């Protein structure tokens, strides 16, 4: 279990998503969708196009569409000015969990996270940079 790094009743200073323990995660170079900007620490998932997986990763969807599963946390920024920005299949570093129990710090991007929300299901926010809490058990 991870340790609390933010004292009670103070704002969480975590930027996007970040592994609690790097021993629970491994770095892999994985292919990404063309022309998709994403900040470091963004949640990434499998790209679905016309109900088919493409083999590339993209921004994690708010609703977990069939097959569009969470893969990991982007370790670098993909910016529109990058030389390979428009290239499908460009390789980027991603933290991939070694087990389903791997823990990560996160930003609360929508709602208010309280003790009552611990162990509840939540959804990833639009843009993949945090979690939405108060989501009625999603």
pLDDT of residue 29: 95
Residue 24 confidence (pLDDT) above 90: yes
- For the chain, the average pLDDT equals 80
Mean of pLDDT values over 30-45: 90
Query: Is the whole model's pTM more than 0.85, yes or no?
Result: no
CA–CA distances in Å: residue 14 to residues 18, 28, 62: 8, 22, 20
Question: How are beta strands 43-49 and 52-59 bridged, if at all?
Answer: antiparallel
pLDDT of residue 106: 82
pLDDT of residue 1: 40
- The burial class, CB within 10 Å (0-12 / 13-18 / 19+), for 15 is middle
The larger pLDDT score, comparing residue 27 to residue 109, is at 27
Residue 32 confidence (pLDDT) above 50: yes
Mean of pLDDT values over 93-99: 93
Q: List phi, psi (to 5°) of 96.
A: -115, 130
C-alpha–C-alpha distance, residues 35 and 107, integer Å: 25
Q: 50 and 67 in contact (C-beta within 8 Å)?
A: no
């Amino acid at each position: 279990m991870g340790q609390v790094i933010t004292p009670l009743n103070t704002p969480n200073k975590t930027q996007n998503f970040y592994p609690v323990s790097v021993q629970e995660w491994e770095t892999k170079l994985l292919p990404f969708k063309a022309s998709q900007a994403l900040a470091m620490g963004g949640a990434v998932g499998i790209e679905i196009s016309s109900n088919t997986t493409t083999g590339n990763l993209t921004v994690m969807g708010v609703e977990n569409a069939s097959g569009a599963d969470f893969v990991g946390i982007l370790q670098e920024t993909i910016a529109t000015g990058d030389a390979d920005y428009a290239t499908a299949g460009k390789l980027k570093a991603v933290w991939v969990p070694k087990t389903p129990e791997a823990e990560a710090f996160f930003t609360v991007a929508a709602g208010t996270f309280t003790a009552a929300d611990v162990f509840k299901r939540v959804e990833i926010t639009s843009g993949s940079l945090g979690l939405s809490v108060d989501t009625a058990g999603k």
